[in-house]
Structure 1
Amino acid sequence: MRCVAVIDCTLPVGNAANAAAVMALTMGMRQPQLAGEPLVDASGHAHPGLIPIGIPVLGAPAHDLAVVRDKAIAAGLEVVDFPAQGQQTTDYAEFQRLVRQTDPAELRYIGVMIYGTKKKVSRIVGRYSLLRPV
């Protein structure tokens, strides 16, 4: 299995990190099996388990993100998307209102997270490389 985040490569580093974190939290809620077993240090202290398969954070042009999202959905993969309106406000009710007022064809995404079989995910995101700070 593979889990990847594809982020608008023009976002400032803080906004990109925020998008990846928000989508990862949602994906973790939707796919709780992604959390690994607790990590135990030499003193026996347990640390929360982390995702054992990792999450590459890839960069893509903003106009590619809707296509990536649509291809992933068509392939039957788990998708978490982050509409751009999410970074226009800190009020979640306002975020919901902004998305509700936007025609689906007009939604612009700043990030898409995909989870599924390695082969299907790689087929969709294979052309993108790791996100680099702008």
Structure 2
Amino acid sequence: MTRSDIRFDTKIAVLLRDDLPGWQRLNATAFLISGVTARWPQLVGEPYADADGTAYLPMLGQPVLVLEGEGPALVTAHERALRRELPVAVFTSDLFRTGNDEDNRAAVAAVPRAKLDLVGLAVHGPRNAVDRILKGARMHP
């Protein structure tokens, strides 16, 4: 088996609402993946270095799938993740109007779970569980 044939027991995935402008998709993805990395630091690989010995930061050691769906798909995926008791990172539309972590957390805390305007979420867990949570979403173009 070559390294490219490695099959991970877990999956990392981001689901984004399909009507977001490009900059919002990228911003939300970066924030959501930081949540996965903070929760599971063991997913981070070793530091990188080029042939000249220049050191670079480590990154996640497994692929991240980025999917998209309409608003209701995010609500459904969110509900499925919570039912399966899988930790989930959320990004709401309000977070595009805040500028720091404290304000971000306050914006989420101000809204009941059923009324969150989800524009993105990230989940990490067993492959089959993540697949079931994201069923119906499509790969981001």
Amino acid at match of 1:15: Q
Partner of 1:13: 22
Structure 1 residue 105 displacement after superposition:
1.6
Written as runs of structure 1 = structure 2, the 5 A alignment for 1:3-42 is 3-42=12-51
Q: Which moved more, 1:96-105 or 1:73-82?
A: 96-105
Question: What is the aligned-residue RMSD (CA, Å)?
Answer: 1.9
Identity of aligned residues (%): 24
User: How do residues 2-81 of structure 1 correspond to structure 2 at under 5 angstroms?
Assistant: 2-81=11-90
Q: For structure 1, which segment, 102-111 or 9-18, has the greater mean C-alpha deviation from structure 2 after superposition?
A: 102-111
Shift of 1:130: 2.0
**Range 52-61 or range 38-47, more displaced:** 38-47
Distance in 1, Cα, partners of 2:62 & 2:25: 21
Partner amino acid for 1:52? Answer: G
Aligned to 2:96: 87
Give 2:21's aligned amino acid.
P
Task: Give me the TM-score of the superposition, normalised by structure 1.
Answer: 0.86
Q: Deviations over 1:14-45 (max 9, x none)?
A: 00110000111121111101111122332333
Q: Secondary structure at the match of 1:102?
A: coil
List alignment gaps of at least 5 residues for structure 2. 1-9
The amino acid of 1:67's aligned partner reads: T
Higher deviation after alignment, 87-96 or 28-37:
87-96
Secondary structure of the equivalent of 1:80? strand
Residues paired across the two proteins, number: 132
